[in-house]
């Protein structure tokens, strides 16, 4: 989209409607409707005005919820674009007040927000929102969504005017008959609106619409939809005179019908066919009034009306209505209603196609992120394992310990970045599932401090920790809780100048665990406070851009806190005065057994000290060799294979007790290798540990179902391996 002209911004009044330019849009022949945009930022108002100006509607802009409410006292509009985060009265409060007023309660509201989590979505829809649009907006999507409501607004206006005309005529001729017809029409339109807004699945919408149109508008109906890839799908409905399955099969094979469909798709103009016959295998009537049929098992349609389904200037399909008697096929009223319905169906199906494209794009993005994660984790795994092997074996020179620690920190940082990127995508799509248990929060804080201590000490920060004497228990996912704490600590260290101070405290207050992390860093400007939670948001005060990060840590922390039914807030007295981040989490209910089991501990120690025969299967030679070296240092007997066939051959003579198995092997994946090792080689008693660059919930579940004792995500922390091996054999005992 070209950059907006600054001179237009200077000339545009916040509450002014732009001038009408004839013929520049597909809906120019309709009466101009008001589009109300409420946002406190001039730059965003300019962007929305620029994107929507080609619709040739009255664009009204307001900079606060209060101004919008005053304007709505005397004006109506087709749709409201409402920013969620505004100073003073935010978008949710404004929407609630709009819904409480009878004059404005029916107006559709589309929230504009930088992120959409489950809490916001539920609240928005409870206030009557019809949709969310993520900022920055995609122009075509924004125009399409707004066009839907503008056309619906114009259609309602047209329906209202026609209803008034019909009522006036009915009073002169037959008041009761006209009133009943109007009621039936209104009910039909209401039902049509309900069906067309009930789903974004094209097949469901087409099936529901064709059933609605019979017998209200015709004796049979059919919708043909052409997808973006050129494929088409057809849904039909018919009256009781025909068998639905036989009728559908007959119509989709009829050459005359297919030829007419292709003509309407090519021209984008409606077409009426005087008579058409379909061959039906079962000619027997199935209703009180059978259709006209010839002696050659043909069902004759007196009239066939074909209406193009046009949206955004493109014909996406055809709506067909067939009439078995001349009475139904005539009349301007029926044609107008059919045309109106075709317009609504066109917009609804266009939304379905757009939604399908978005889903396809999301699937491709998820596949890319998963592949990227796998490819990044694979080279990190041997680096991490080799470093640890050299360290514990004494091969790394003592004078180079600082270099080793630096490499380990950078490997940890790369792993953390990969995890954050994937977690953001998963949370946005609602794919993260918490593994909740009772967690002692002070221990998690100490673990997070241990992880973040190297960069904090490197910067010379003074770390002050205040923890209560009594344990503070919460119910949550221990991995995700530590991720929240680490992201906040990393943020504090990154935005604090060398030699600063970071205070960390924990307390229990009014049924909640409260974690506070305060720093003496650069601080946060008041106007930036609401925006720091946005994805990729970064402070403008950091001079060293190499330390600014990706801008996803705080957004991820906030979403994870919300998944734990908690709250998070940021406070700062201004630039140069430091910042404070506070997390509130519900305290766990009741006491739990937290004492260690001495018998289990003894078993783990015994299992860890026992030498095992271990088979490592990984197509990455560096990863396999480095893991073999590390396991050998601990006294285990290790053999390696780089593919499934080699693993099967080697296992027959080696008879391993434990198999570290890479899932992403070529030709034969890890699941198949594990199955054949058990069934063909006879390793029924062997234990299997999965190694993978994929760590989503579905990947872990599939490994568990395949009989793997553990699912380790590359790069594996070498320090955790003795405990993992001990747990495997302790569980067996």
Show Cβ contacts of residue 411 under 8 Å, excluding neighbours closer than 6 positions: 380, 383, 384, 387, 715
Give the residue among 690, 623, 166 at the shortest CA–CA distance from 379.
623
Tell me how far apart the terminal alpha carbons of the chain are, to the nearest angstrom.
66
Is pLDDT of 583 > 80? yes
Highest-pLDDT range among 159-163, 375-379, 554-558: 554-558
Q: What was the pLDDT predicted at 160?
A: 76
Show Cβ contacts of residue 221 under 8 Å, excluding neighbours closer than 6 positions: 209, 210, 213, 214, 236, 237, 238, 319, 320, 321, 322
Inter-CA distances, 691 with 624, 635, 647, Å: 11, 21, 15
Inter-CA distances, 288 with 57, 239, 241, 280, 281, Å: 50, 11, 8, 18, 20
Q: Is 21 contained in some domain?
A: yes
Inter-CA distances, 514 with 107, 469, 478, 507, 508, Å: 41, 15, 16, 5, 6
**Same domain as 279, residue 214:** yes
In percent, how much of the chain has pLDDT > 90?
16
More confident call, 614 vs 163: 614
Q: Is 581 contained in some domain?
A: yes
CA atoms of 482 and 441, how far apart (whole Å): 9
**Same domain as 613, residue 582:** no
Taking the whole predicted model, whether its pTM rises above 0.75 is answered as: no
State the pLDDT confidence band at 332, using cuts at 50, 70 and 90: low
Q: Is 230 contained in some domain?
A: yes
CA atoms of 154 and 150, how far apart (whole Å): 6
Q: Is 187 contained in some domain?
A: no
Condensed to tens digits (0 to 9), the pLDDT of residues 681-700 reads 888 889 999 988 777 777 88
Q: Is 208 contained in some domain?
A: yes
**Same domain as 686, residue 558:** no
CA atoms of 517 and 553, how far apart (whole Å): 15
**Same domain as 143, residue 32:** yes
Condensed to tens digits (0 to 9), the pLDDT of residues 222-244 reads 888 887 666 777 877 776 666 77
CA atoms of 486 and 554, how far apart (whole Å): 10
More confident call, 659 vs 394: 659
More confident call, 602 vs 684: 684
**Same domain as 573, residue 505:** yes
Single out the residue in 586, 614, 644 at which a domain terminates. Answer: 586
- For all residues of the chain together, what is the average pLDDT? 78
SS in 3 state form for 358-411?
A: HHHHHHHHHHHHHHHHHHHHHHHHHHHHHHHHHHHHCCCCHHHHHHHHHHHHHH
More confident call, 301 vs 91: 91
Q: What was the pLDDT predicted at 278?
A: 64
Judge contact between 474 and 586, C-beta under 8 A.
yes
Single out the residue in 564, 586, 608 at which a domain terminates. Answer: 586
**Same domain as 633, residue 578:** no
Q: What was the pLDDT predicted at 373?
A: 67
Among 63-72, 252-261, 484-493, which is the least confidently predicted range?
A: 252-261
Q: Is 366 contained in some domain?
A: no
DSSP string computed for 563-597: HTT-EEEEE-SSTTS-EEEEEEEEBPPS-------
Is pLDDT of 38 > 50? yes
Give the residue among 565, 554, 616 at the shortest CA–CA distance from 588.
565
Q: 586 pairs with which residues across the strands?
A: 512
Residue 253 belongs to domain spanning: 198-353
State the pLDDT confidence band at 284, using cuts at 50, 70 and 90: very low
> 54: exposed, middle or buried (C-beta count within 10 Å: 0-12, 13-18, 19+)?
middle
Q: How many C-beta atoms lie closer than 10 Å to residue 553's C-beta?
A: 22
**Same domain as 666, residue 576:** no
Among 213-227, 363-377, 514-528, 534-548, which is the least confidently predicted range?
A: 534-548
Return the CATH number at 633: 3.40.50.2300
Single out the residue in 299, 331, 353 at which a domain terminates. Answer: 353
pLDDT mean over 440-457: 86
- Reduced to 3 states (helix: H, G, I; strand: E, B; else coil), residue 169 is helix
**Same domain as 540, residue 478:** yes
Q: 463 pairs with which residues across the strands?
A: 502
**Same domain as 604, residue 567:** no
Judge contact between 290 and 325, C-beta under 8 A.
no
Condensed to tens digits (0 to 9), the pLDDT of residues 52-69 reads 988 889 999 999 999 999
Q: What was the pLDDT predicted at 370?
A: 65
Where helices occur in 284-331 by DSSP H, the ranges are: none
pLDDT mean over 342-361: 85
Domain count for the chain, please give it.
4
**Same domain as 616, residue 499:** no
Q: What was the pLDDT predicted at 537?
A: 59
Q: Is 484 contained in some domain?
A: yes
**Same domain as 508, residue 463:** yes
Among 49-63, 256-270, 579-593, which is the least confidently predicted range?
A: 579-593
Q: What was the pLDDT predicted at 609?
A: 57
Give the residue among 498, 499, 502, 580 at the shortest CA–CA distance from 544.
498
More confident call, 557 vs 294: 557
Among 147-161, 191-205, 291-305, 671-685, which is the least confidently predicted range?
A: 291-305
CA atoms of 203 and 209, how far apart (whole Å): 10
Q: Is 132 contained in some domain?
A: yes
Return the CATH number at 329: 3.30.450.40
Condensed to tens digits (0 to 9), the pLDDT of residues 408-429 reads 777 776 777 777 666 666 666 6
**Same domain as 311, residue 280:** yes
Judge contact between 588 and 508, C-beta under 8 A.
no
Condensed to tens digits (0 to 9), the pLDDT of residues 124-159 reads 777 777 888 888 888 888 888 888 888 888 888 888
Q: What was the pLDDT predicted at 256?
A: 77
């Amino acid at each position: 989209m070209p950059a907006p002209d600054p001179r237009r911004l200077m000339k545009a009044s916040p509450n002014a409607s732009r001038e009408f330019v004839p013929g520049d849009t597909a809906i120019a022949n309709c009466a101009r409707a008001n589009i109300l945009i409420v946002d406190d930022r001039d730059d965003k108002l300019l962007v929305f005005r620029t994107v929507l100006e080609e619709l040739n509607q009255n664009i009204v802009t307001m900079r606060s919820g209060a101004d919008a409410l005053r304007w709505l006292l005397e004006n109506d509009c087709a749709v409201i674009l409402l920013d969620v985060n505004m100073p003073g009265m935010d978008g949710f409060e404004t929407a609630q007040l709009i819904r409480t007023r009878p004059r404005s309660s029916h107006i559709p509201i589309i929230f504009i927000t930088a992120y959409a989590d489950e809490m916001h979505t539920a609240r928005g829809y409870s206030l009557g929102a019809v949709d969310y649009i993520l900022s920055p907006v995609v122009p075509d999507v924004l125009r399409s969504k707004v066009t839907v409501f503008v056309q619906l607004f114009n259609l309602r206006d047209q329906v209202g005017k026609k209803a008034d005309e019909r009522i006036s005529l009915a009073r002169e001729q037959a008041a009761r008959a006209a009133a009943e017809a109007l009621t039936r029409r209104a009910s039909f339109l209401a039902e049509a609106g309900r069906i067309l807004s009930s789903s974004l699945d094209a097949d469901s919408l087409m099936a529901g619409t064709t059933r609605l149109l019979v017998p209200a508008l015709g004796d049979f109906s059919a919708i043909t939809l052409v997808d973006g890839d050129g494929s088409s799908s057809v849904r039909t409905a018919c009256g009781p005179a025909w068998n639905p399955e036989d009728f559908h099969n007959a119509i989709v094979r009829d050459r005359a019908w297919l030829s007419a469909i292709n003509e309407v798709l090519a021209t984008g103009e409606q077409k009426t066919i005087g008579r058409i016959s379909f061959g039906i295998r079962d000619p027997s009537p199935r209703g009180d009034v059978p259709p006209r049929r010839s002696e050659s098992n043909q069902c004759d349609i007196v009239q066939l009306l074909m209406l193009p389904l046009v949206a955004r200037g493109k014909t996406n399909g055809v709506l067909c209505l067939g009439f078995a008697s001349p009475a139904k096929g005539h009349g301007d009223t029926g044609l107008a209603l059919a045309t109106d319905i075709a317009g609504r169906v066109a917009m609804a199906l266009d939304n379905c196609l757009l939604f399908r494209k978005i889903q396809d794009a999301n699937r491709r993005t998820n596949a890319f992120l998963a592949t990227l994660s796998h490819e990044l984790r694979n080279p990190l795994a041997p680096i991490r394992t080799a470093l640890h092997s050299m360290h514990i074996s004494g091969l790394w020179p003592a004078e180079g310990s600082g270099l080793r620690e630096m490499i380990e920190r950078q490997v940890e940082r790369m792993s953390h970045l990969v995890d954050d990127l994937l977690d953001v995508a998963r949370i946005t799509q609602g794919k993260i599932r918490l593994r909740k248990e009772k967690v002692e929060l002070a221990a998690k804080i100490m673990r997070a401090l241990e992880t973040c201590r190297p960069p904090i000490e490197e910067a010379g920060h003074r770390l002050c920790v205040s923890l209560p004497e009594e344990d503070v228990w919460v119910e949550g996912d221990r991995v995700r809780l530590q991720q929240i704490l680490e992201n906040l600590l990393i943020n504090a260290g990154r935005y604090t100048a060398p030699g600063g101070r970071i205070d960390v405290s924990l307390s229990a207050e009014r049924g909640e665990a409260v974690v506070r992390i305060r720093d003496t860093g650069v601080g946060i400007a008041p106007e930036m406070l609401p925006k720091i939670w946005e994805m990729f948001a970064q402070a403008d005060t950091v001079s060293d851009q190499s330390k600014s990060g990706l801008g996803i840590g705080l957004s991820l922390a906030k979403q994870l806190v919300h998944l734990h039914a908690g709250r998070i807030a940021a406070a700062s007295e201004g630039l140069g005065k430091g910042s404070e981040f506070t997390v509130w989490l519900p305290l766990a209910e009741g006491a739990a057994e937290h004492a260690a089991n001495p018998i289990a501990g003894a078993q783990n120690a015994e299992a860890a000290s026992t030498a095992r025969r271990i088979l490592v299967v990984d197509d990455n030679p560096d990863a396999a060799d480095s893991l073999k070296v590390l396991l050998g240092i601990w006294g285990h007997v290790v053999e390696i294979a780089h593919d499934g066939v080699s693993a099967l051959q080697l296992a027959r003579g080696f008879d391993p007790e434990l198999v570290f198995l890479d899932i992403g092997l070529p030709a034969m994946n890890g699941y198949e290798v594990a199955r054949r090792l058990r069934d063909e080689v006879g390793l029924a008693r062997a234990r299997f540990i999965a190694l993978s660059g994929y760590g989503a919930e579905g990947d872990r579940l599939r490994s568990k179902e395949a009989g793997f004792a553990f699912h380790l995500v590359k790069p594996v922390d070498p320090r955790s391996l003795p405990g993992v091996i001990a747990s495997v054999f302790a569980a067996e005992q």
